[in-house]
Amino acid sequence: MEAASKLDVESIRADFPILRRMIGDKPLAYLDSAATSQKPVQVVEAMRRFTDHSNANISRSVHTLGSEATEAYEGARAKVAAFIGAPSPDEVVFTKNSTEAINLLAYAFQNAAFDPSADPRFKLGPGDEIVVTEMEHHANLIPWQQLALRTGATLKWIGVTDHGRLDLGCVPEVITERCKVVSFTAVSNLLGTVNPTSQITARAREVGALVGLDASQSVPHIPVDVTELGVDFIAFTGHKMLGPTGIGVLWAKADLLDAMPPFLTGGSMIKTVTMEKTVFAPAPAKFEAGTPPIAEAVGLAAAVDYLDKLGMENVRNHEKELAGYMLEQLETVDGLEVVGPRVPIGRSATVSFTFEGVHPHDVGQVLDAEGIAVRVGHHCAKPVCDRFGVNATTRASGYVYNTREEIDRLVEALGQVRKVFG
């Protein structure tokens, strides 16, 4: 396809030394980027340069290394903000990962319950409602479950159809005037479904609810502009977008960050402290207590540079082609059933499937023996598995460095699974 030709995949692959690794006597085919993507040399080298030449703590010293570290860290924040179309870098809060970002938000609601002066948008109690969907990763489900338990609010969810799509017809009855916050996944990590946001966001606005996205599987793969999305917050993580582990992002509108009480308290997040009381610093510092992941932020900035150079439209088009080809080829495997949308429309290059009579762990072990890395299990999305009546699935997920030839190897290896298990 013409769109995919805009990515020079062989050139991209040259930037990832791990892709030259052999698993036994088989070349590695890495099809597990939905769990963790690989890092190009540009990211590794950026982190090494920082560590070798500018390693110091930020916002604490006037010496040269401290100034360079602060500049690198805040420069990374600015790059991330530009990458997602945020109006200001001060709306970007660095966290450990998406899970921590969503917990930060959920705890802001919980903490507000004990503060008489808290913004009413964060006040939750009996009679109030929180809405998620049935296709959430646990990171965007359990924090809201816990918040409901602690505040007496009610947790509700938008269901999933047999085709792996959100049941948008039930949105008006699920998101009612009692709803205070709606948080849903932009792209399902198990089903691969790319969810439409406008209908859910519009309904949330009608009832005055805050609305946000778990963008862990969208920011790395799809052009994202938070202003165009019209949401209040998004969460995503560095290690799924060619960056390092240990760093994630919470983006939220400036007025929300100003109104939110902090999640963690301690050093670096204060304006002034006496023995009697503390005045917190403005956002984003208010939410970044202690020494932050400085080298990891540098690595994330390098990952953003890499993706910017590729062009996110090109990334998306390449993955659309991968998704279409993977679905087409998997249909030829006897006994295999895709869990999720079976057409490459409104979906990502993440495809989960079951193999009749063979446990996903056994499938994964045979594939690994053929040099093919996939994920098996419930993918931290157990309710989705329950919805489709399966305990686990095998999941293959593509990214910028994957090729049709690797998908051919996957299909061929699945034939080996059939031979081994009859």
Q: Are residues 57 and 25 in the same domain?
A: no
Residue 113 pLDDT: 77
The pLDDT-based confidence of 118 (bands split at 50, 70, 90) is confident
Cα distances from 256 to residues 119, 207, 248, 261, in angstroms, run 9, 18, 19, 10
Kindly state whether residue 35 falls inside one of the protein's structural domains: no
Q: Is the pLDDT of residue 159 over 80?
A: yes
Do the Cβ atoms of 109 and 98 come closer than 8 Å? no
230-256 average pLDDT score: 98
Q: What is the pLDDT of residues 287-328, one digit of tens each?
A: 999 999 999 999 999 999 999 999 999 999 999 999 999 999
Q: H or E stretch including 252?
A: strand 248-252
Cβ count near 113 (within 10 Å):
16
CATH number for position 66 = 3.40.640.10
The pLDDT-based confidence of 391 (bands split at 50, 70, 90) is very high
Q: Are residues 333 and 403 in the same domain?
A: yes
Residue 181 pLDDT: 98
Q: Are residues 338 and 214 in the same domain?
A: no
Least confident of 47-61, 143-157, 237-251, 368-382: 47-61
Q: Are residues 144 and 51 in the same domain?
A: yes
> Residues near 234 by Cβ (< 8 Å), separated by ≥ 6?
84, 186, 212, 213, 214, 215, 219, 224, 226, 249, 250, 251
Residue 3 pLDDT: 44
| Chosen domain end from 276, 308, 340 | 308
Catalytic, 380? Answer: yes
Question: To 10 degrees, the CA torsion angle through 70, 71, 74, 76?
Answer: -120
More confident residue, 332 or 4: 332
| Chosen domain end from 250, 275, 308 | 308
Q: Give residue 74's domain range.
A: 45-308
Q: Are residues 179 and 68 in the same domain?
A: yes
Percent of the chain with pLDDT over 70: 99
Do the Cβ atoms of 40 and 242 come closer than 8 Å? yes
| CA–CA gap between residue 280 and residue 262 (Å, rounded) | 9
Q: What is the pLDDT of residues 36-53, one digit of tens each?
A: 999 999 999 999 999 999
Catalytic residue (one of 170, 179, 380, 385): 380
| CA–CA gap between residue 138 and residue 382 (Å, rounded) | 8
Mean pLDDT over each residue of the chain, to the nearest integer:
95
More confident residue, 3 or 172: 172
117-122 average pLDDT score: 88
Q: Is the pLDDT of residue 1 over 50?
A: no
Do the Cβ atoms of 374 and 395 come closer than 8 Å? yes
Cite the DSSP H helix spans in 241-348: 254-259, 294-310, 312-330
Q: Are residues 249 and 323 in the same domain?
A: no
Q: Which of 207, 77, 216 is nearest to 139 (CA)?
A: 216
Kindly state whether residue 240 falls inside one of the protein's structural domains: yes
Domain tally for the chain?
Answer: 2
Handedness of CA 338, 34, 145, 202 (dihedral sign): negative
Kindly state whether residue 183 falls inside one of the protein's structural domains: yes
294-310 vs 41-53: helix axis angle to the nearest 10? 150
The pLDDT-based confidence of 5 (bands split at 50, 70, 90) is very low
